[in-house]
Structure 1
Amino acid sequence: MAEPFKNLINAGTVARAGQHLQRVWPGFDRPRFEQSAGHGLEALEFKARAMQLADALEATLPPDFEAAADLLEASLAPPIPLDAQGEPSALSAAQSEAGLSGWVVWSMGDYVARRGMTDVPRALRCLHALTQRFSAEFAIRPFIQRHPDATLTTISTWVNDPSAHVRRLVSEGSRPRLPWGLRLQALVADPAPTLPLLRALQDDPSAYVRRSVANHLNDIAKDHPELVADWVHQHLLTASPARTALLRHASRSLIKRGHAPTLSAWGLGQGLRGTVSLSLSATRAAVGGEIALAVSLASSSPEPQDLLVDYVVHHVRANGSTSPKVFKGWKLTLGPGEQRTLGKRHSLRPVTTRVLYPGPHRIELQVNGQTLAQADFELLN
């Protein structure tokens, strides 16, 4: 069995934090810090562990924020190096010996968010340092929420920072709907303030940064689909392969939804010229098993057709209603007059993000965003 994720913050994490904070400040009350941060740690879940460590920092660091920020920065390991593709490398034992990095920095960032609101410039300089040893994407969000002008003005200067960690923070920290993070409701309503940042970063040399930009645009697409469709139309025209990959990743939710302007941007705007059918391997299937889909396509066009074929499973919910979930199918070019058969096995095993309930389920087939065929089956316990 895999090690629980929460154990990434453990007694060793607390001890290393105490060691390095005492190294840079001999007067640091290490016993008090370690007792407070480690109390009942095994019983806590992941975020609660991080927040308890932040509580201990708040109780033991100097009350003067600038002095505390100086100590946090002095306790850090060298920045996490990036590999040839611009992705973060694994932490080494030497880095751990040299100073703090990794998950403990989450707690340090939370401390900065709690105590740094009265000195935003100093707090942001500290987050600039912290993000190079883990990520300050959670910690910077309260500053964007409470001091949007000052924070966005500062991070706009970071789009040319030498560190890819910092450039990524510009995009990741300002995502409207960052998972696990504070929702930035003002940017959900109006993402305009971050668009210049994304424009400056979408051709970043680091894939690490570009992936964040794609996820940021995908966040925006949930509330402003036309804006992202227009962005793709505009920025795909002269796109490099790297930018093209970014825009496709940014479009993924809209493509799954069959959003016509987005499909059009990718040359998938026309409906199928021809016929399609969908059949299932069984009319009944059990939770934990699988069901096979068979798709038959027949072209009636004298021209090739670029097709995106996805399928939607309407899962039964606990209250008896249904909830649609789009699954990736096939991307293909159907030749003139061609007939083609496609097959896929769909798993019915429960996953952590979805509970499967028995009852009648429907599968719909989408071709270039249009629902053209469907089939039903009964899911059994």
Structure 2
Amino acid sequence: MPEPFKNLISADLVHACGKHLRRAWPGFDRRGFEAHALDGLDSLEMKARAMHIADALERTLPDDFDRAAGVIEAALAPPATDDRLAFATSEAGLAGWIGWPLGEFIARRGQAEPERALLALRELTQRFTSEFAVRPFLVNHFALTIDRLRGWSDDSSPHVRRWTSEGSRPRLPWGLQVKSLIADPSPTLPLLAALQDDPSEYVRRSVANHLNDIAKDHPQVVAEWLARHLPGASPERTTLLRHASRTLVKRGHPQTLKAWGLGGKLDGEATLSVSPKRVAVGDSLAINAVLVSRSRRKQALVVDYVVRHVKANGDTSPKVFKGWMLELGAGETRRLTKSHSLRPITTRRYYPGRHRIELQVNGKVVAETAFTLAK
């Protein structure tokens, strides 16, 4: 059985943190810090462990924030020199998962001194991402934080450059929402323009995810971005923009599909079937689609499927699942199959009833079927 993920933040990590903070500041109360941090740690889940250790840091680091930030910086390992994610605390200093409580401490205590706090987060993100810790500064000190992130978008460290994009995503998963950026993403667009041709794929991937966040609330902004930046794009930028378009392609957004040459209606016929027709939670469903071309030319197609899940009240809620990208030849018949899992996951609860499935080609429904989920 694999080790629980929460154990990445462990007693050993607390001891290492105490050791390096004491090295950086001989007056650090290592014994008190470790006693507070370890008290009840094993009973907590992962995020709660990070918050608990941050509480212990607040009890034992200097009250003067500039001094406390200096202690943290002096305790860090040397910065990563490439874009690999192999951060780990070692004899050289602190790095890796201990960065979560360290970042939380900076986010809590640095609100009165945001300039100093952002400098500390820039250092920390080269040892463990500061994407979550920067969010409160975007909420409470928006203009300053955006200005500093833009300024660091050409930093020599790929971890800092990636942080400027990832930390300012409107809908960062697990992160504090920045409602002003959800309402108006324009402040981060110059930053994304500066980073979309970054030499690091690690950075470019973040830009793609940032643009995809924007697409969920402002599809036209991303459609216009494609119109400006896709023509003549390098292979690397093309890959970025394709990933950034994934939500709009799934939704069948006409302007986005047209930008990728996918706007045309299927010239032909489609059928859809599933087996078995009756399943239980935990089973898998075989989805079978057949496309028959009537065209004399090949057709570029994005083929997805939509499951209309039954909700507790009997209504249905659609969820688009990624299917296939293909070229259908002139007069060709193409059979497509996919296994769809009905295993329970934390983000979706299944309810019994008749669930419809629709086959979507270039954003348009062309066939449908249904299955019954048993009680």
TM-score by length of structure 2 reads: 0.97
In 1, Cα distance between equivalents of 2:311 and 2:14: 42
* 1:52 is aligned to 2:52: yes
In 1, Cα distance between equivalents of 2:87 and 2:278: 49
In the alignment, which residue of structure 2 is the partner of 1:325? 319
Report the secondary structure of 2:345's partner residue.
coil
Report the secondary structure of 1:96's partner residue.
coil
In the alignment, which residue of structure 1 is the partner of 2:360? 366
User: Are the counterparts in 2 of residues 255 and 369 from structure 1 also a CA contact under 8 Å?
Assistant: yes
In the alignment, which residue of structure 1 is the partner of 2:61? 61
AA partner of residue 107 (structure 1): P
Task: Give how far 1:110 is off.
Answer: 1.2
In the alignment, which residue of structure 2 is the partner of 1:353? 347
* 1:113 is aligned to 2:110: no
In the alignment, which residue of structure 2 is the partner of 1:19? 19
Task: Give how far 1:81 is off.
Answer: 4.0
User: Are the counterparts in 1 of residues 87 and 128 from structure 2 also a CA contact under 8 Å?
Assistant: no
**Once the two structures are superposed, what CA deviation does each residue of 1:307-359 show, in whole Å capped at 9, x if it has no partner?**
11111111122332222111121111111222222222222222333222221
In the alignment, which residue of structure 2 is the partner of 1:133? 127
**Once the two structures are superposed, what CA deviation does each residue of 1:147-205 show, in whole Å capped at 9, x if it has no partner?**
11111111111111110010011101101111111100000000000000000001111
In the alignment, which residue of structure 2 is the partner of 1:215? 209
In 2, Cα distance between equivalents of 1:286 and 1:280: 14
Task: Give how far 1:286 is off.
Answer: 2.5
User: Are the counterparts in 2 of residues 292 and 344 from structure 1 also a CA contact under 8 Å?
Assistant: yes
User: Are the counterparts in 2 of residues 87 and 206 from structure 1 also a CA contact under 8 Å?
Assistant: no
**Once the two structures are superposed, what CA deviation does each residue of 1:270-305 show, in whole Å capped at 9, x if it has no partner?**
111111111223322222222222212122222211
In the alignment, which residue of structure 2 is the partner of 1:285? 279
In the alignment, which residue of structure 1 is the partner of 2:6? 6
In 1, Cα distance between equivalents of 2:59 and 2:285: 56
In 1, Cα distance between equivalents of 2:64 and 2:276: 68
Task: Give how far 1:4 is off.
Answer: 1.6
Choose the corresponding residue for 2:236, options 231, 237, 242. 242
In the alignment, which residue of structure 2 is the partner of 1:87? 84
Choose the corresponding residue for 1:163, options 157, 161, 165. 157
In 1, Cα distance between equivalents of 2:107 and 2:353: 47
User: Are the counterparts in 2 of residues 311 and 365 from structure 1 also a CA contact under 8 Å?
Assistant: yes
Question: Aligned Cα RMSD in Å?
Answer: 1.3
In the alignment, which residue of structure 2 is the partner of 1:340? 334
**Once the two structures are superposed, what CA deviation does each residue of 1:84-104 show, in whole Å capped at 9, x if it has no partner?**
xx433x246xx5111100111
In the alignment, which residue of structure 2 is the partner of 1:39? 39
User: Are the counterparts in 2 of residues 213 and 246 from structure 1 also a CA contact under 8 Å?
Assistant: yes
In the alignment, which residue of structure 2 is the partner of 1:187? 181
In the alignment, which residue of structure 1 is the partner of 2:253? 259
Report the secondary structure of 2:21's partner residue.
helix
**Once the two structures are superposed, what CA deviation does each residue of 1:233-256 show, in whole Å capped at 9, x if it has no partner?**
221112111111111111111111
AA partner of residue 366 (structure 2): L
* 1:313 is aligned to 2:310: no
User: Are the counterparts in 2 of residues 312 and 363 from structure 1 also a CA contact under 8 Å?
Assistant: yes
In 1, Cα distance between equivalents of 2:365 and 2:353: 22
Report the secondary structure of 1:97's partner residue.
coil
Report the secondary structure of 1:77's partner residue.
coil
User: Are the counterparts in 1 of residues 208 and 244 from structure 2 also a CA contact under 8 Å?
Assistant: yes
In 2, Cα distance between equivalents of 1:91 and 1:229: 36
User: Are the counterparts in 2 of residues 87 and 207 from structure 1 also a CA contact under 8 Å?
Assistant: no
Q: Report the number of matched residues.
A: 375
- Aligned in 2, Cα 1:91/1:114: closer, same or farther, shift over 3 Å? closer
Report the secondary structure of 1:151's partner residue.
helix
AA partner of residue 296 (structure 1): V
In the alignment, which residue of structure 2 is the partner of 1:380? 374
In 2, Cα distance between equivalents of 1:240 and 1:370: 30
Task: Give how far 1:262 is off.
Answer: 1.1
In 1, Cα distance between equivalents of 2:289 and 2:306: 13
AA partner of residue 198 (structure 1): L
AA partner of residue 170 (structure 2): P
TM-score by length of structure 1 reads: 0.95
**Once the two structures are superposed, what CA deviation does each residue of 1:57-93 show, in whole Å capped at 9, x if it has no partner?**
11111111111111110000011342xxx433x246x
